[in-house]
Amino acid sequence: MCFQNQAGRVRVGKGNKPVTYEQALPPHYIGHRKGWLTQNTSNLDNEHGAAERIIEDVFIRKFIFGTFHNCLANEIVIKRRGNVIIICAFFLQNLSPQKYYFLIGYTETLLSHFYKCPVKMEVQTLQDKDEPGRPKVTATLEDLQRMHETTTLLVKGLSQCPPWTMYGHLAHRSRSLFTWSIVTSEVDHHDLPPFKLLLDLSSLANQR
């Protein structure tokens, strides 16, 4: 049953459908290759209120989706810091700045009255769903698996390095190991940090 589970998985078709990094990885990779969309301490051991936080998060997501209809570029991230709820979102530039200011203030005020705590929104606007200045991502599951295998070999090679030389060794090895899997574009990959170079999935499927 677990092998045939398709919940939370995005159908990528024949590899020609652009997907985000969040959509390309199935749910069982949460905590390994991608992070959580909700960050709070209710799911820790011996903590209370996990069920209440889930219901609140579902309501917040539906409220944001309905308030900013056809404006969300990606999934929102809900963070809880003490008694403050922080909603992080990427919006498309489908509305005027004045309307966005009104809807953001409307959302913060209404949710603050609902949950009896401060609610803040951290937003950023994009022209389209593609990250500005970067090529489109059309990686297939085989490409992600091959990237993971190469990353695993790189990490195994770094396990015997001293901590003070690991960063420089990572920068040197990443340029040689990932040359075959990165498409040349307008971005100079050698100027990028090593951790950003590992996550640069630049149209791998279109290269073949």
Q: What is the DSSP string of the chain?
A: --TT--TTPPP-TTTTS---HHHHS-GGGBTTTB--SEE-STTSTT---HHHHHHHHHHHHHHHHHHTTTTBSS--EEEEETTEEEEEEEEETTS-HHHHHHHHHHHHHHHHHHHTS-EEEEEEEESSSSPTTSPPP---HHHHHHHHHHHHHHHHHHTTS-HHHHHHHHHHHHHHHSTTTS---SS-GGGS-HHHHHT---SHHHH-
Residue-level pLDDT at 109: 94
Closest CA to 39 of 81, 3, 92, 100: 81
User: Between these two residues, 96 and 199, which has the higher pLDDT value?
Assistant: 96
Rounded CA gap, 126 and 24, in Å?
21
**Over 60: is that where the pLDDT of 194 sits?**
no
Residue-level pLDDT at 41: 81
User: Between these two residues, 126 and 158, which has the higher pLDDT value?
Assistant: 126
**Are 88 and 122 within 8 A, CB to CB?**
yes
User: Between these two residues, 15 and 73, which has the higher pLDDT value?
Assistant: 73
> pTM for this one?
0.56
- Percent of the chain residues past pLDDT 70, beyond the cut: 55
Residue 41: how many other CB atoms lie within 10 Å: 12
Mean pLDDT, the chain, whole residue set: 70
Question: For the residues 9-22, what does the mean pLDDT come to?
Answer: 70
User: Between these two residues, 81 and 198, which has the higher pLDDT value?
Assistant: 81
**Over 90: is that where the pLDDT of 173 sits?**
no
**Over 60: is that where the pLDDT of 13 sits?**
yes
Question: For the residues 190-207, what does the mean pLDDT come to?
Answer: 41
Q: Give the pair of three-digit tokens for residue 43.
A: 């799911």
Q: What is the pLDDT of residues 52-95, one digit of tens each?
A: 888 999 999 999 999 999 898 888 999 998 889 999 999 998 89
User: Between these two residues, 196 and 110, which has the higher pLDDT value?
Assistant: 110
Q: Which residue has the tokens 């574009």?
A: 185
Question: For the residues 120-125, what does the mean pLDDT come to?
Answer: 92
Rg (CA), the chain: 20
Closest CA to 205 of 147, 165, 154, 150: 147
**Are 56 and 90 within 8 A, CB to CB?**
no
